[in-house]
Structure 1
């Protein structure tokens, strides 16, 4: 498999990258079928974002839910799942199995491997807003806890 990465701030190298891609693709197409996939690269969530979310935001949500008499969320992971549902942090995809079309919920990720930094920032902001509106809990800013 060949991968080429093209970054918007590296314009002088675009021609070189495209010429290299053209050369490699020309060679490949002589001997085999080729599938080309283009996708946008987004920056991954930072350790600081995830640390703030897991160490500050989720425990405060858990405590806020408990104070309202809702003690069904025993683990932080349960609170995480609850918030993804509340804020619709998922997409609905249609898949085909045999002749049946199914709609499935695919949860978005805040992990390094699959998440996007800007999407994670937006999700964290939405969590903070939701908690303030629904639980009357004010979550301190990240820098108060040493997160950037």
Structure 2
């Protein structure tokens, strides 16, 4: 793969999780726009997270792309429930053109809050994903 960004744009607009996962490097990570502290890492955890995200988002459309080389910014808009949201997705590519880091920035506050509530409800079934994203160590008796 020489540049994963075009496939990423298409996959996210159509909520095609398999195609989206193909754009990610094995060690890819996403920093949560909700907390800024949670960092989701690796293909398995990202698949769970991105499936939950794209199940709740509709009418995703990337409107602009800024940058070249290993750093890009995508500007887009979508709906989360009844709320329109705008997004700036900062993307860092690895040496093979795959996505190594995703940093979404979402607004307005109401859409971000609605996303937090719906995403939390979907991810509650995966406590290990949340624990790993927080950097917490597993509890051992």
Compute the TM-score of the two structures, normalised by the length of structure 1. 0.28
Compute the TM-score of the two structures, normalised by the length of structure 2. 0.29
Determine which structure has the larger strand proportion and give its number.
2
Larger radius of gyration between Structure 1 and Structure 2: 1
Determine which structure has the larger helix proportion and give its number.
1
